[in-house]
Amino acid sequence: MTTEMTTDLAVYRNDHNDRNHRDNRNDRSYRSDGVHGRLVHDLGRRIVSGEFAPGDLLPTETALVSELGSGRSAVREAVKVLTAKGLVRTRTKTGTVVLPETTWNLLDPDVLAWRYQTGPTARQLDDLAGLRIALEPEAARLAARNRSKSATAPITAAYQRMAGTVADPDVFIGHDLAFHRAIVDAGGNLLMAQLSDLLHTALAAARQVHTRNVRRNKRTLAAHEAVLDAITSHDAEAAATLMRKLVTGARRDIHRERQQRAR
């Protein structure tokens, strides 16, 4: 690492608390404490995992009260929340029916979490990879155009933490996520940053599929460093090209490892 990168780390530390505050503000997940919150997450996971398939009726209110040990008001409120997320619809005299995935609010943070934490399908992972390929190269291009050290220092910090924890997959995953989110933040596009925040949970789940491979993690460090160097050198086109190569390679790795598990 260069002296400039070491200086960037000092700038990063001064900005770190503000970024943590922003992350807390952007946590839009439905609260899971209390009977009502637990019902929302329990039923949501069961729907998204396929336990309740599209077209199925949810158990009756009486049955859910008995099964989950909750009151009727909590069940009713949970169903209202799931309805707002596009997962179910209540029909008079019929009951609450599970809706197809095409009606779900796929960018709802809870739906994202349930979708990618309950054994995502190959198509779901490919959807996520395609969105990354569309989003992240442009984010890297914008970050490279930003000459503020306070904006790019978190990218350097996240990379150095990746390098220092590459043999510990659980810790490495968090720093890998931080690296990519810091690049989006440095680009300064607020819509892109909010979309990145919403995708955070999905990306974390997707990384559990392939980022636990220590050998692969070591191999990709050089690619991450190349993106970092292009950004800190303010070479926008190189940053975009190298990021596209990085995220495309990640998609190939997911496909390869899923195929190996299927054998």
226 versus 38: the higher-pLDDT residue is: 226
Reply yes or no on whether the pLDDT at 109 is more than 60.
yes
How large is the average pLDDT for residues 1-12? 46
Going by pLDDT thresholds of 50, 70 and 90, the confidence category of residue 263 is low
Q: What is the CA radius of gyration of the chain?
A: 21
Question: Which of 64-73, 122-131, 207-216 is least confident?
Answer: 207-216
Into which CATH architecture does domain 34-103 fall? Orthogonal Bundle (1.10)
Going by pLDDT thresholds of 50, 70 and 90, the confidence category of residue 262 is low
Q: Residue 69 has what pLDDT?
A: 84
**DSSP state for residue 91 in the 8-state scheme:** E
39-63 confidence digits (pLDDT tens): 999 999 999 999 999 999 999 999 9
Cβ proximity of 39 and 70 under 8 Å? yes
231 versus 10: the higher-pLDDT residue is: 231
Domains 3-28+119-262 and 34-103 share a fold: no
244: nearest Cα among 218, 226, 256, 221: 226
How large is the average pLDDT for residues 112-141? 88
Q: Which region, left, alpha or beta, applies to residue 50 given φ > 0 means left and ψ of -120 to 50 means alpha?
A: left
Q: Residue 92 has what pLDDT?
A: 86
| Domain spans in the chain, listed from the N-terminal domain onward | 3-28+119-262, 34-103
Please list the helix, strand and coil fractions of the chain in percent, rounded to the nearest 5, in that order: 75, 5, 20
Determine the topology of domain 3-28+119-262 in CATH: Four Helix Bundle (Hemerythrin (Met), subunit A) (1.20.120)
Secondary structure (3-state) at 93: coil
Q: Residue 179 has what pLDDT?
A: 96
Going by pLDDT thresholds of 50, 70 and 90, the confidence category of residue 27 is low
What pTM does this model have? Answer: 0.79
**Structure-token match 């809706």, residue found:** 99
Neighbour-count burial for 148-177, b at 16+ CB within 10 Å, e otherwise: ebebbbbbbbbbbbbeebbeebeebbebbb
Cβ proximity of 98 and 49 under 8 Å? no
Q: Residue 28 has what pLDDT?
A: 67
- List the structure tokens of 27: 């946590």
37: nearest Cα among 70, 5, 4: 70
